[in-house]
Chain A
């Protein structure tokens, strides 16, 4: 019996060895602040910070940027929530908002992140970060490489996080006047609508941004415009490949043109005016494009072949013109002309306004003529602006919808 007691003591001692260290990295999920959105703005200290600084609560820093974190769900009225019983999901308790935006100013994003720990009891976790909004003003001053350095190094933040640019302040893009709406989810959700509109750029995630920045080419980021807590995806922000700084914007119309060149339309609308002055609308269902680089005696030129299939979905002719084959052929020409307009405009902007190639011409050249590419790749954006580009577009109306006449 004595031996048995000794043995069980030994086992207990061994168990204690494990259990005493126990749970050292355990952190219950409700004790964490789940960050779903991050906004980066030009420094603009909040009233709170200015007041705190007056009380001596400042630390040595330069005011470079203001980081806004969007925390869900907002836990402010704990006791209140208890009283309410269930029914939590209806937008929390603080003024119908389902989220909490917290902003702090500083010159190191990581330091700002940790600064939140002296402000909130629940530490931030970045696993669920869905969207990073960069204000165009900040991106004008600082290279994206500088701004995103911490974010790309951090191993909590997922590489699948979406990156967008806001025309105005990022905090505006992360605010919402709609009760119960979480702007970060809203912005990521918009990207999924690409099958309905070709005004939306293919989503740029952190990992894509990282690789694009390292390849040195110019690139586009989705632009968000805001007014009074409402948002819209509109156009794109252009970033110069050499500096990774914001240099300008493409409009929605330009983005549509670009989608023709890139040939990645999953769905969208092309509206034109028929010779009779009435509106006709074409719904594309499918499109493809082929960029053919041509090199003749060292002179580079591009030819783009674009094809699209879709249906005539709206026709304001009155009295209505029957959708005969001849009429559809006529309409195809009208739509091709309209598409050409879009393409012309975006090509003009790329080559003559911003002098950047964001249409994927570089890649084609690199694949077809790698030797030539090596020679010119350092001043590609300049070279590109002088290259003649021709194109042909072939729109095919397959049907006129379920209309019977």
Chain B
């Protein structure tokens, strides 16, 4: 009996083991509420709750005021409301054949002057009201309006507006306003015609093969590009207005019979909850509607390419286009999308697959290469082939820093170079690349600050990170790379493994609008691997991705 107990006690570990086990349990349990708190404080500082924002302080003096029909009074009110705006023009005229005065309001630079001249001024001042109509004007105010809109003004976009406030807003937005003496409604004519650029090849997502079309800053052009893509009845473009002070149009695009209605509903409810003075760019929208603010991974995909948007819509995704930016948002996003390029589909499947596999490899390199270098050099000399170990030892002889410092120096300077290269004007950019890449790299080696082997590693890493077709995903990997380097410096290869597991576990938990981020991988779906690391022949891909729960899963329809 005593023997039994002593044997059992022999196998009971010492208290230190229990303490470690307790810590192992405690630390994650503490981490979870900590991150919850951080997330909560982040969200509460920028609440999405509609009742918590404060509406614009100053009220418009025109609030609730309607047109009276008394010409002088109305014009005076409007002049006061608009105030001292340098670019608003008032053009007073007399309508021919009547004694009615009229005033045309427009904003210089925004309005189509030709339209005003030939379709408003000419008919009003030259043609005017015919003799036989003149008498009937005194019977009803509406006859005047009807006559003007139905017989005189040769413009398509014409809208009567009784509210002064809305009238002034429209005029300031670039439409032409017409107030006629005696009429209780003002007329808003035409559309704003600001300057916009022509459609160009998208700079951030250039392709060798594929349409050379990118979005522009005008929402109308962009939605037009989507319509222009092909005849398609199910494309729905729903308009929203976002921004509390500066109002902007936002279009939610989806395929009526493909997109999951729940997804559309969720996205539109999140859009309606946006509370911000001015959504400057679609990046604002992205950040205000994303699921996880703390994640380094983007949960909304941005693109300049209409073909990419259409491809997303056909998979059952939803797109958001904002006025004033060429970047459309596609959501929900899955990890595989970040490493895919439309070209994968335009090329035949073998080259497409090869390039895609290459990109996955490059992504791994971009994430882990410097970390592996550090762990091999500092912790595991035995894992390097002997002759390589010898040459590394020889080349590292004069290097005064441990490998982490050495790698940090080079990585940070590469990042600085990259950032500087973007900011520089085009003719200087390549020259700076040469100065930075070649001269600094070579000089650093000659000066003995870094080893030539590291220069190779850093160069390969940098080039690999540029192969990632989505620019913002490349930045994510760059940030994570530094974390990987630190974990390699602290724990060696073991640290790299832990770091990779941490990233994996985060990715597995992450969701973008209810769709698991690493979707074809977990939840596991073997048939969707046809379009994940490899790109199967088009004839094999008969189904739309099931993770999006599309209404119509047959891709051939």
Contact = CB atoms under 8 A, between A and B. Distances in A.
A34 to B, nearest CB: 6
A375 interface: no
Interface residues of B, number: 33
A85 B397 CA distance: 11
Interface stretch (B183-191, B200-208, B374-382): B374-382
B397 A7 contact: no
A30 B399 contact: yes
B402 A29 contact: no
B74 to A, nearest CB: 50
B238 interface: no
Nearest to B402: A28
Contacts of B390: 34, 72-73
Contact of A82 (B383, B448, B489): B448
A25 interface: yes
A26 B397 contact: no
B81 to A, nearest CB: 40
Given A29-B392, A30-B399, A23 B378 contact: yes
Given A28-B377, A29-B381, A130 B396 contact: no
B225 interface: no
A81 B392 contact: no
A78 B397 CA distance: 7
B448 to A, nearest CB: 7
B391 A89 contact: yes
B62 interface: no
A146 B308 CA distance: 71
B453 to A, nearest CB: 10
16 contacts: A10-B34, A18-B490, A21-B490, A25-B379, A30-B397, A72-B390, A78-B398, A82-B397, A85-B446, A88-B397, A89-B394, A127-B383, A128-B386, A156-B382, A158-B382, A185-B386
A32 interface: yes
A81 B397 contact: yes
Contact of A30 (B38, B376, B393): B393
Interface string A9-35: 011000000110111011111101010
Interface of B: 34, 37-38, 41, 376-379, 381-384, 386-387, 389-399, 402-404, 446, 448, 489-490, 492
Contacts of A19: 490
A27 B38 contact: no
A85 B443 CA distance: 12
A88 B451 CA distance: 13
- Interface class of chain B by DSSP: helix
Nearest to A82: B398
Nearest to B376: A29
Given A27-B379, A128-B386, 6 more contacts: A11-B34, A22-B490, A23-B378, A28-B377, A29-B384, A82-B448
Given A26-B492, A28-B403, A89-B391, A81 B398 contact: yes
A36 B393 CA distance: 14
Give the 6 A-B residue pairs with the shortest CB-CB distance, closest first. A127-B382, A30-B396, A26-B378, A29-B381, A22-B490, A128-B386
A279 to B, nearest CB: 40
Contacts of B490: 18-19, 21-23
A75 B399 CA distance: 14
Interface residues of A, number: 35
A27 B378 contact: yes
Contacts of A280: none
Contacts of A30: 392-393, 396-397, 399
A125 interface: yes
Given A18-B490, A22-B489, A3 B41 contact: yes
A79 B242 CA distance: 68
Which of A10, A19, A34 has most chain B Cβ within 10 Å? A34
A4 interface: yes
A89 B390 CA distance: 9
Nearest to A4: B41
Nearest to B378: A26
A185 B389 CA distance: 14
Which of B34, B381, B387, B446 has most chain A Cβ within 10 Å? B381
A81 B393 CA distance: 13
B379 A88 contact: no
Nearest to B386: A128
Interface in A46-84: 72-73, 75, 78, 81-82
Contact of A25 (B34, B395, B398, B492): B492
A82 B386 CA distance: 23
Given A4-B41, A32-B381, A82-B448, A73 B394 contact: yes
Contacts of A34: 381, 386, 389-390, 393
A11 to B, nearest CB: 8
Contacts of B38: 7
A394 to B, nearest CB: 43
Nearest to A157: B382
Contacts of A18: 490
B405 to A, nearest CB: 11
B46 to A, nearest CB: 14
A23 B446 contact: no
Given A7-B37, A128-B386, A130-B386, A28 B378 contact: yes
Nearest to B392: A29
A82 B389 CA distance: 19
Nearest to A8: B38
